Amino acid sequence: MVKVIGLTGGIASGKSTVSSILKSLGAVIIDADVVSREIMIKGTETYNILVSVFGKEILRKDGEIDRRKLGNLVFADKEKLNKLNEITHPEIIKRIKDIIEEERKKGKEKAIVLDAALLIEMKLFNMVDEVWLVVVDKKTQIRRLMKRDNLSYKDALNRIKSQMSIEDKMKYADFIINNCKDFNAIKRQVELLWGRFSK
């Protein structure tokens, strides 16, 4: 049976870097963020529900959902964030389950990686064989997030606070990847973990 690794970490922790290293090593990546974009495409049922709940101000000029506008709206209001999750999470979970099944049927991979920031919050860890958690110190996390998404300190902090704490996530982790140093340091850690599947 092909193993499924759940890859998670706080926002701007370097999870995407780990995901790209794993891809270069031959892993099949299921990106929960890509799945979440797909279920929100104009014309889908989820799209229609989101527009009716949050209004047309979350739309871009071309009619598609502007994820940045939606993000700014929900990350400042816990009730709205809960509502967004209530609408989107069941659809995302269903789609991920289907993709895992499709990949497992092929049976060619050493392991499938489910890359999901909300792996634990959405209980996606129930679908995986082991959880890899990418960690970074708070100061570095804020700095990276402000730079990456062009956010103010306050907005960056709001996004971090809206997520489960790293301490709580650690309780679910089988392996912890420390991303406080440089790229080579994280690459070595990932290669060691991945090496277990290459034997």
Q: Are 149 and 75 in contact (CB under 8 A)?
A: no
Of 5, 21, 3, 1, give the one whose Cα is nearest residue 174.
Answer: 5
Query: Residue 14, annotated ligand binder?
Result: yes
Tell me: is residue 12 an annotated ligand-binding position: yes
Exposure string for 12-49, b = 16+ CB within 10 A, e = fewer: bbbbbbbbebbeebebbebbbeebbeebbeeeeebbee
Q: Residue 112: beta bridge partners?
A: 4, 28
State the virtual CA torsion across 151, 155, 161, 163 in degrees, nearest 10: -60
Q: Is 147 annotated as a binding residue?
A: no
- Check whether 43 is labelled as a binding-site residue: no
Tell me whether residue 17 is annotated as binding: yes
94 is in an annotated binding site: no
Which residues are known binding-site members for ATP? 12-17
Which residues are known binding-site members? 12-17
